[in-house]
Structure 1
Amino acid sequence: MNEPSSPFSKLQLIPQEETLEILKQKGELYIGLPKENQYQEKRICLTPDAVNAITANGHRVLIESGAGEGAHFSDSDYVAAGGEITRDTKKVFSCPLLLKVEPPTLAEIDMMNPQTTIISALQIKTQDKSYFEKLAKKRITAIAFEYIRDEDGKYPAVRSLSEIAGISSVLIASELMAATNKGNGLMFGNISGVPPVEVVIIGAGTVGEYAARSAIGLGANIKVFDNSITKLRKIQTNLKQTIYTSTIQPKNLLKALKRCDVAIGAIRGEDRAPVVVTSTMVEHMKKGAVIIDVSIDTGGCFETSEVTNHHKPIIEKYGVIHYGVPNIPSRYPKTASVSISNIFTPYLLKIGEDGGLENSLRFDKGLRNGLYMYHGILTNKFVGEWYDLQYSDINFLIF
């Protein structure tokens, strides 16, 4: 007797491995750009060109009226780029994805809808417990752009802003030395027959490297101090020339500070910037010399430094001019905005391609590194330990 014919072939009846659907559905993003209201903050996360690229990919961007004015981008620039403008602050904060330079205030978190995603700076040292508790209550997902890593394991946002701070430190010093600003009348520049300006740079990281690059470009003599031989070796390689380098030894440092016209502090610590220049050392510096303490954001590396602001940027101690304005890049908001925008745009387009932030966090380890709140659950170990809050490993929450 013949067996009934089967609609399946023998091959089809053999058990197969299960193949799961992993196609990523492209998602439409609705991004809100609120106006920064913190003191002296004039930067914006997306330039009109970036908004154009994002809207051309099918996403929507809602900008609060006047949000780009500080960086010299008008509302009409954003409208021409495909953005939407509103005067209603609450409407912007009701967008599912928010981009800010400064972390949101408690009042701004109140305006957010539950389950909103915010990408901004965290500035952990300026926060308190109530900030994280409020984010948790609203089940917010929050990413700190200063913690996002690229494929090389570097921090692109921190690097970009450090480049600006390094170049700025030399430009600011040259302004302060001008006689019109009651400075000592010396000019950065390699003038025939005139001894060059002497610059001491403490710290051979990104800020130090870009300060050194700018000072050399203007014709100054530089001396770079750092306790990391690797960093000192790297700065020489990157500058493609032999420069004076030294570890931070009080005797060598004091000798250099006595002779210098400009001293730039660009050194960071784990918690607070280490104080490497004492009051006594500053006392021995030339009258009219300039100190630019870029490390002031984390406490300053000159003992005599004090926090100042863009309206009253300098103080004088022992006849030495001290510049201690935190957040130096906000002095050049247009350049800083373009720089931040260049980092944000590819991430936003990728989030759209991946079908939303959830998928991007799964696939992008560097972006995941920036995450510190996930649907109201604290996921950053450092923040948890700093503020004595419970935290969970993001890898257990996402996969």
Structure 2
Amino acid sequence: MSKPLSPFTKAQLLPQEETLEVYKKKGNLFIGIPKETHFQEKRVCLTPDAVSALTANGHRVLFESGAGKGANFKDKDYSEAGAEVTKDTTKVFSCPIILKVEPPSIEEISLINPQTILISALQIKTQSKGYFEALAKKRITALAFEYIKDEDGAYPVVRSLSEIAGTASILIASELLSNVNGGNGLMLGNINGVPPTEVVILGAGTVGEFAARSAIGLGANVKVFDSSITKLRCLQNNLGRTIYTSTMQPKNLLKALKRCDVAIGAVRGVNRSPIIVTETMVDHMKRGSVIIDVSIDMGGCFETSEVTTHYHPTFDHNGVIHYCVPNIPARYSRTASVSISNIFTPYLLEIGDYGGIENALRFDRGLKNGLYFYHGILTNKSVAEWYGLDYSDANLLIF
């Protein structure tokens, strides 16, 4: 007796998940890297070494001439790494994937083709409603790198740039204390027989940790203040040594500020940084002491802080030097570029291995966390609430 014929083929009987795995096909990406036009932005998303890794895996990179100049990378470095270098800005923005450090301007969005994938910073506080409406009109899929999470649930790009900002804050402070820049002529420390310089750090996050690490390395006496005992405990553990820590007690803080030579502000808030140090407290600080307000991009945690630029970075308030530049990592553009590139490259290779952004978002939840536009549909709740826009949950669109 012959077997009855099945109404289904073998392929049709495979479970759907298994089918996805079977037919997952590697795709070749075409990435455009335009020149950064934002004020004082000198960083670039990919280094020549990163471009070399991408082109070796079969991907194409179209690089705008001069995009690496601010980070001291030549066009020749990129062409030798396998990138196609062009002076045509429109051609770069017509690529299926656009990679930028700063978010594109409204003029740049007009150059982008519909259904393009945009990977850049979002910088929600500096955007306008019109920016999101322009992205929606072009049905763009956009990822914000400050929202991308790694497997540990941390934000790798934010942490990386915070490490640079924290270390840089101490280096800048040491410059401003020198006679050359009109300071008190102090070194941070480590000189036998000379009392160490006093450094007060507000905030025990990544910026505070790396500022403390650098200050201790230079021999300074460090005091860290934070409202969270857990953060202070983590900081001590990460530094591997006991230092002065305190909660934000006004009496203790004022006492420390009166004695300090450098004060670093590294306190973040939800929508803006809280004012920790009042104008009266600043008036009690030593003449010639230095304030570095790293949280100025969120309003600053010193009442006397005002936004400055890399060209005119400081101002004097009652004899206290204030440094309030929002984009400190851009001061060290090459280091920052290498750091960003190290994070981006594996993600781009992963998107290629998954055959495109659609599958990558399905399989990588951390990458999906960075998604704020999906084919022109807003998927980020924070953006929607901030600008009063409609949004859809990304999990309902990608499954």
**TM-score between both structures, scaled by the size of structure 2:** 0.97
Is 1:165 equivalent to 2:169 in the alignment?
no
Once the two structures are TM-superposed, the CA of residue 189 in structure 1 deviates from its matched residue by 2.5
Is 1:113 equivalent to 2:113 in the alignment?
yes
Query: How far apart are the structure 1 equivalents of 2:93 and 2:338?
Result: 23
1:361 — aligned with what? 361
1:155 — aligned with what? 155
Query: How far apart are the structure 2 equivalents of 1:107 and 1:224?
Result: 44
Equivalent runs, 1:200-239 vs 2, <5 Å: 200-239=200-239
Amino acid at match of 1:340: I
Once the two structures are TM-superposed, the CA of residue 17 in structure 1 deviates from its matched residue by 5.3
2:344 — aligned with what? 344
SS at match of 1:230: helix
1:293 — aligned with what? 293
Amino acid at match of 1:395: N
Amino acid at match of 2:172: I
Query: How far apart are the structure 2 equivalents of 1:35 and 1:143?
Result: 19
2:377 — aligned with what? 377
- 1:308-332 deviations in whole A, cap 9, x for unaligned? 0011100000100000000100000
What's the % identity of the aligned pairs?
72
Is 1:188 equivalent to 2:188 in the alignment?
yes
Once the two structures are TM-superposed, the CA of residue 350 in structure 1 deviates from its matched residue by 0.2
Once the two structures are TM-superposed, the CA of residue 18 in structure 1 deviates from its matched residue by 3.5
- 1:266-308 deviations in whole A, cap 9, x for unaligned? 0001111000000000000000000000010100000001100
- Contact map agreement 2:278 2:304 (CA 8 A) in 1: yes
Amino acid at match of 1:58: G
For residues 259 and 65 of structure 1, do their structure 2 counterparts lie closer, same or farther at Cα, with a shift above 3 Å needed? same
1:19 — aligned with what? 15
Is 1:52 equivalent to 2:48 in the alignment?
no
Query: How far apart are the structure 2 equivalents of 1:159 and 1:143?
Result: 17
Aligned length: 393
1:146 — aligned with what? 146
**TM-score between both structures, scaled by the size of structure 1:** 0.97
1:124 — aligned with what? 124
For residues 170 and 320 of structure 1, do their structure 2 counterparts lie closer, same or farther at Cα, with a shift above 3 Å needed? same
SS at match of 1:114: coil
SS at match of 1:119: strand
Amino acid at match of 2:270: E
SS at match of 1:153: coil
Amino acid at match of 1:253: L
Query: How far apart are the structure 1 equivalents of 2:37 and 2:397?
Result: 34
Query: How far apart are the structure 2 equivalents of 1:13 and 1:267?
Result: 62
Amino acid at match of 1:363: F
The list of structure 1 runs, each at least 4 consecutive aligned residues, that deviate by more than 6 angstroms after superposition, is none
Query: How far apart are the structure 2 equivalents of 1:385 and 1:7?
Result: 60
Amino acid at match of 1:96: P
Amino acid at match of 2:219: G
Is 1:249 equivalent to 2:249 in the alignment?
yes
SS at match of 1:115: coil
Amino acid at match of 1:271: N
SS at match of 1:180: helix
Superposition RMSD in Å:
1.4
Once the two structures are TM-superposed, the CA of residue 7 in structure 1 deviates from its matched residue by 8.1
SS at match of 1:90: helix
Once the two structures are TM-superposed, the CA of residue 19 in structure 1 deviates from its matched residue by 2.5
Query: How far apart are the structure 2 equivalents of 1:87 and 1:299?
Result: 37
Query: How far apart are the structure 2 equivalents of 1:7 and 1:276?
Result: 80
SS at match of 2:110: helix
1:389 — aligned with what? 389
SS at match of 2:61: strand
Once the two structures are TM-superposed, the CA of residue 6 in structure 1 deviates from its matched residue by 3.9
1:316 — aligned with what? 316
SS at match of 1:355: coil
1:39 — aligned with what? 39
1:303 — aligned with what? 303
Amino acid at match of 1:51: V
Query: How far apart are the structure 2 equivalents of 1:254 and 1:40?
Result: 35
Query: How far apart are the structure 1 equivalents of 2:336 and 2:56?
Result: 24
Once the two structures are TM-superposed, the CA of residue 398 in structure 1 deviates from its matched residue by 1.0
Query: How far apart are the structure 2 equivalents of 1:67 and 1:48?
Result: 12
